[in-house]
A = this chain, B = another copy of it.
Amino acid sequence: MDRAIDSQLEDLKKLTLEMGGLVEKALVMVSAGLLKKEPSHLQEVFKIEGLINDLQIKIDNECLQVLAKQGPVAKDLRLILSIIKINTDLERMGDQCVNISYISRELIERGFLNSLKDIEEMIEAVTKMVKASLDSFVKMDPNIARSVLDMDDAVDNYKKKINQHSIQMMKTDVNSLQDHLDFILIARNLERLGDHATNIAEDVIFAFTGKDIRHGSND
């Protein structure tokens, strides 16, 4: 069946992936900026966030148009509602990247010396989650989406590890207190990025299976 709505839904999916690609790029720049202590990469994040914000409004508008003109039902309707929600999550992921960039910029300006090994690993774990959540959306694959939910524990464990270590360091070395507080805050922002990836995965499962698995309500 060749329907006008099909090409509109394809366009919406492409825009959503474009936005997802921007979030991935922002994460790469956050990582490069912080780990290489290179503020110019962090500056890129602020630019990318502007593009993400513009796309959010564009996608929301197009969803509204398709809903108003096509009156979609069943699977098509679920897909559009999922795109609206994924759109919101992606925009907030951009905000989280910006938050981390602000904190990182101050850390770099202060010339911090501490190891970023755990943060580097946590960024990798979150990046994997984000990639998999977008992959589940591209391939419309609820199994990949389910794998995202399983990755959340690893991210939470990194947060706990960074928390504990940083608190210990704050107690023993008052001079590095602000740096370690910043690591705690970066870890919380990264954890939230992971939460948004989880939301996206849940939306994909809902869009393609009709099952709402939030809050353990199903499955």
Contact = CB atoms under 8 A, between A and B. Distances in A.
Interface in A167-186: 167, 170-171, 174, 177-178, 181, 184-185
Given A88-B88, A167-B181, A181-B167, A67 B77 contact: yes
A17 interface: no
Given A54-B215, A57-B212, A60-B81, 9 more contacts: A57-B217, A60-B212, A64-B77, A64-B81, A67-B67, A67-B81, A68-B74, A81-B84, A170-B177
Q: Work out how many copies of this chain go into the complex.
A: 2
Contacts of A178: 167
A73 interface: yes
Nearest to A67: B77
A78 B81 CA distance: 13
Contacts of A67: 67, 77, 81
Interface string A25-64: 0000000000000000000000000000110110011011
A146 interface: no
Interface of A: 53-54, 56-57, 60-61, 63-64, 67-68, 71, 73-74, 77-78, 81, 84-85, 88, 167, 170-171, 174, 177-178, 181, 184-185, 188, 212, 214-215, 217
Nearest to A216: B53
A177 B184 contact: no
A177 B184 CA distance: 13
A214 B88 contact: no
Nearest to A89: B88
Contacts of A188: 185, 188
A171 B181 contact: no
A217 B74 CA distance: 32
